[in-house]
Structure 1
Amino acid sequence: MASAPKRMREEAMCSICLELMTEPVSIQCGHSFCRRCIEGILEKPQGTSSLSEPQCPCCRAPFQRESLRSIKQLENLIQTLKETDSERLCEEHGERLHLFCEDDGQLICLHCERSPQHRGHRMLVVEDVYPGYKEKLQGMVTKLKAEQDRCKRLKLEKKDEIRQWEENIELQRQKINSDFWTLRNFLDEEEKAYLWRLQNEKEKGLERLQEGEASLEKQSFQLECLTLKLEKMSQESPQNLLQGMKDTLKRHSDVELKVPEAVSLAPQTVCNVSELYCDVRKLIKRYQVGVTLDPDTAHRELILSADRRRVTRGSPQKKHFSIKRFHALPCVLGREGFTSGRRYFEVDVGEGSGWHIGVCLENVQRDKDMIPEPQSGFWAIRLCQENGYMALTSPPTLLPLKERPLLVGVLLDYKTGLVSFYNMNTGSHIFTFPRASFSETLRPYFQVNHSSPLYLPPPLELS
């Protein structure tokens, strides 16, 4: 339905584009058009027409560009018509919706107010009720935006949780792979050891059995010969048979079979596999060695006990000169060097707040500060207050340990180039460094922080 008198709208329509005029202009004949539309007529070639001037689209009267005149009043009228068109009108009565019925929550016109449908309802003028409801909507928008922001934050948090979950799963997968690899490796070695012992037992038992068999074979031949001899004598004449009978009986009456010593056919080499692999601690302790501290390598702030099994860090001490001594890092090495096989030792770290434990090459630099990583000849893990437990790879690897290890086991497999660490309180695997190639002597390595003494239990004290 039109929002203004029909004739007014018709006067404001452009006969070229059939829309309300934009920048209305008039030409010589008095007709009005959109400026863009009439300029389009001016720009078109006139073809073969004898008239050189453009013609009005309505009356065909010629006009020139200079005759175009803006019509400001008509432009204002068109703007009013557009604003009027944007207003909503009552679908039933075609009038402006001046009122708001709060009971029904809808806009109504003056005719609707007097209808039975809205009789007795609370009516408010649109201009009066508009600010309040606008404020309510803005409040809802603010709340929804806050919820939207919260949703975005939660989505980011969920993405972080997904990433963290995947990282945790990957770490657990690596741990499971490492634990089973270690277990399989140990079992392979144990299998070889048990099979070697079984083969050795087989050879010794077979030797004894074969000696018994050979003894019986020899006695069988001797008995057969003696039997034939006596049978032949029994066929002799009385004179020949009785001649020397006393000596014959005396010589052969005490013949008795020498039965070889009985050999047990039950192998003594027995392996209870279920007990063997149920606890990794039982496996790695087979390779346990006693480790003591080398005072010639101890940093001047480190204090060693008389038995060389405990080290603490304190004030600088006066120590004799040694080219083996660490001058930059507060470190000390174990006296024992490893060049082959598997070697395992344990370190009681207690409740200390900072330490390094592992192995290193015997010829590592000791006169300057460095990063203790494989590239520098160190394979170690550490505890520090800032980052917790870490494996000193390059870059360092965070170790999300669920339980605090009080007793740390270090296993070196020189041949395979692996260094592994275990929480010996639980028998759980902590970390295994990537495979390396060892060709030099490796020694136990310890770095000691203040208030974090380390103790090396003697093998007899280990359970």
Structure 2
Amino acid sequence: MASSFKAELTCSVCLDLFQDPVLTRCEHTFCRRCVLEFWSQQQRNMCPLCRKVCPSALLLRNRVLDGLLETLRQRDKVQLCSDHLLERSLYCPEDQELLCCQCRDSPRHRGHNVLAVADARARYKEEIENTLKLLQDRRSKCDVLKTKSDKYIAKLQDWARQTESQIKNSFRKLHVYLNGEESSLIQQVRQEERESSRKLQDMTKEVFQQLRVLQNNIQEVERHMQDGILDLKGLKDIQARLAHTLPTPVLIMHKVPFGKFAGPVEYKVWKKLRKLVDTVPMTLSLDPDSAHPSLEVTADGNTVRLSEQRPSQSACSRLALEPCVLAAQGFSGGCHYWEVEVAGEGWALGVGSRTALERGRLALAPQAGNWPLTFRGGAYECFYPLHTLVADSKPRRLGVFLNLERGYLSFYDARKMSHIFTVPSKSSEHLYPCFVPPSSGESLSIAHCECWEDPDSDPGRM
């Protein structure tokens, strides 16, 4: 009965429940949209069932059927069974389905412990609430993660824009400088060319005038010889006149300064970049007063190594205080870069504060106010965050870049300026370059790059 009832409420065109049902002239019912679409495909407005011609102006709304369908839609809110059009008032826990009375008696659910929906809701209320709470908690966590991710993405994009702008500005300065140097050198070459050409042209004019006089005299002598009237007295007169009026022609070549422009142009320009580059390898000196007694600092304040009396604990341990020495120069702002010659194993480089120094020892940890990079076992190790990186080869020269404007410390392989680590480095105190010499006994030295040294500059000032 329910199936036949449902069939009566189904459109014969779309085979679904009527939507906006209308009556044709032949008293058949269809969805308004279905019959109009059917007619649009035909040459005449025929009924889809009996094929009688039905003028579109005679489509009348089936109010009774529309009201019945609305009633069924309201009943759908109490979840009608699609097979029997009865209220699904039962719940089968085994199949986790809502059932109507006829579904309960079907072979599929026969023998199952079926509950009334109200009883099932009461029984599973706590479980449903817990599940809902779990889902809500996960949603909250996802919202928090999404917010953090959005902030990080925005921060990353802002960093990328700032870094891109910084790179462009740096290269723009180099381009402007190099273009200016190129133009200046080219102008100098052209000026040298003009001056040398002018001098050579003046000398060439003098030689040309001498050639003209000589040619005239040659022609005169040749004419006298042809006429046979040239005697010894006449020859002596001509020789005296030529000697008096024509000096011996001499062409003095102008010295062109080839070496001035054909030398190591790139190297000369590169050395001039010292005034343009803001951050270059600076000259540091070790402060012997800050050194641990087990360390030997050379008189020039350039090199440090472990003395024969070595400390009891092994160098570069993660928690122990390490014997170290600080640089005499400290920084509270700006950007600073220095390079260090390293060798062996068990050394550490970084920055630290004087208050964190305890009798010449430093704890190699950020929480102690120190930010180091260590090398042992063929790998670099950084403690903030704790991370290791296997070195592709034994390091020989390391660069350390401290940017107090943006609050970070970076380490580089100075041979090819390849990046090793970058760590946050912010402090309210002055930070000093710190040096822990190799535990293997080799020395550790501050590197000096003479090509960057400016005799007019203060070696401690960047």
TM-score category (smaller protein): 0.3 to 0.5
Larger radius of gyration: 1
With the length of structure 1 as denominator, give the TM-score of the two structures: 0.42
- TM norm structure 2: 0.43
